Chains A and B, each alone.
Chain A
Amino acid sequence: MKIDYYALGLKVGLECHQQLATRGKLFCSCKPYLFKGEPEIIFLRRLRPTQSELGQVDPAAFFEFQKGMKILYEADAETSCLVEMDEEPPHELNREALDVSLTIALMMNAKPVDEIYVMRKIVIDGSNTTGFQRTCVVAVDGSINVDGKNVPIQHICLEEDAARKIGEEGFLIRYRIDRLGIPLVEITTGPVINTPEEAERVALAIGKILRSTKRVKRGIGTIRQDLNISIRDGALVEIKGVQDLELISKVVEFEVQRQLNLLKIRDELRRRGLREDELKGEFFDVTSVFRETRCQILRRAISQGKIILAVKLPKLAGLLGFELTPGLRFGGELADRARFWGRVGGILHTDELKSYGVSDEEISELRRSVGAGEEDAVVIVADKIENASDALKAVVERVREAINGVPEETRAANPDGTTRYMRPRPGAARMYPETDVPPIKITREHLERLRAQLPEPPEEKIKRLMSSYGINEKLARQLLDMEYDDLFEFTVKETNVTPTVAAATLTETFKALKREGVKIENLTDEQIVEIFKIVALEKTSKESIPEIVKWLTEHEGSSPMDAIKELGLTMVSEEKLKSLIEEYLDKNRDLISERKLGAIGALMGIIMKDLRGKAKPELVNKILREKLEERLKG
């Protein structure tokens, strides 16, 4: 079935986060890289919620505190200093990062603010040692053109990346702070995107502009998308951390599906006449019902001294098993909340109890214990009393929200494009000024200087590459995508190599080699230029390039000349070629006498098999033809 997203009133806004390739971090001079291996520094912290300058406490922040988490931070001395440890105030805002973000702002026709204020955005899940992320609006009110449509850019922010989570054991979360403080630029579009596919195209267009600055990081995890998605009658849901561009349209499709199904549940609950006051949130200790149960999960829980707590969900029979998106049932949404608020492993409900080995007698006894009829559902959870009742409170709250449709919340993207509950949506209350960094004035002169050096917009550059170098559009686009466009132009100007050879090598050849597992990223620009230089000087043939590249990536610090010597790919001189061809002709007398001039194709095959990379085929062909004609005449 084709979904008419326009009719559903789909609105999507993107928040694109891109790491910048600066020398230092945003507020200190640490190396903006990740470390591998064992940490040199370990420390333990707790974070508390605080009030904003407007005197409000953010509910999301308060909630994360309630969970009582402790955080273990890991660091090494190269990538972290006292600033990341929150043991020293931030240094001044990195001017290099500021210039890159302003450049991006200007390319997106945004208006830089007159004075930049660094803010603290409260995040107390531990991903920032301070308990807040430092962030600032650099420019507002821009727009980009995506396939003829004007997409407004609301904000361009410069902010510090967060620490990366590497594990969680009960009440302890582990983070590495190497990533903390790497400059990120955040591009926020207006909610004007109307289809899943359009969301992907807008993200792609933003990515191209970012990369055209040549000052952004490449590779997995260096660009992350958050999506704000809503449909008519649904709610604004923020989905965080989509790393793969190709996943964007899928995430949007699934979220629309989820919201539509939640609306179906709302309608069904209304039809069944469920009122909010019927959701009493009375919990029953039903441990005794399951003393002799054959359900493994419950048996184990009871033997560990946990209790089984139950709540009746009136009129919800059959709805908990309703599938919202592939693999996610409505009961799964309840379980997500229970896990988050109650720190329990999960929940069980009457729609699925039988499949877990609970007997019919136990189910009827359970229903009796909580006063549930056939039209009601019962949710049970096995844990310590506080955790279990927190979990069930969250379950009841989620059902209450279901009566009204779709709850506003922040969700996290799974690798398959589905999502899971992350936390309630944070409000503006979680922002307050970073008083350790003074405001920064952006002067007209500064902007003029940046404007004079703006990179060429990607679409214009593609057109220019095509017209100036005679390469086709596909090659031109690939050069930009792979960020070889500048190297391509430099090479063609410096080496007289044929533009199409250079472009095809940098794109198609390199891609093919990558697929074979060749580490192209080990190749330096100097080595690449040198390869084209020796091809242009006919020291070797263009056919040898893949072998040379492969050899160079395996022999660090070597030159392309070393490669052709080692691999025996030096060109055979014309004199030598002539005598070699004579030898081939001698060896193939029968063939020649049989096919006459028609033998040339077969001979070319035989000769080039041996001389591939050592002789230009055109030259071999010319000499062969001359010699053959000579022989046939004589």
Chain B
Amino acid sequence: MNRISEFLVGLLFGWGLLISAMTDPSKVLGFLDLAGAWDPSLAFVMGGAVLVGLVGFTVAKKRTSSFLGSAMHLPTSRHIDRRLVLGSLTFGAGWGLAGFCPGPGIVAMSAGEPKAALFVVAMIAGMLVFEVLDRWAKPSAARDSRA
């Protein structure tokens, strides 16, 4: 059951990215270009997603296990540190440079877009660079704190 649900959630998320046009870099850049002809569409994407997400996470926070009985893997880190801010600033620079973030990059690649494939390969390379640097910087620290 878990595997089926994970697969369907991935499918649904991909459809959401396609329908909202997050997979179209010119649309993303139109939103990020405040000084040009600004396209506010992506604010509606975020708004719609967070509105529904708020309901889901409000319920999720009160639960000790998922509907299928697995543990709730909610992030526990509360530190706002240099790592979080510098990492996010770096990500934003890459996002503004090409108009792709991770999910839309993967979906556009799967739609057969060669430049999206190039983006995903470079993104995985960037993630591997992180693994190497991180292991070299602090070999024994706990390293599984997502979001």
- Chains A and B form a bound pair: no
Which residues of B are in contact with A by a Cβ distance under 8 Å? Answer: none
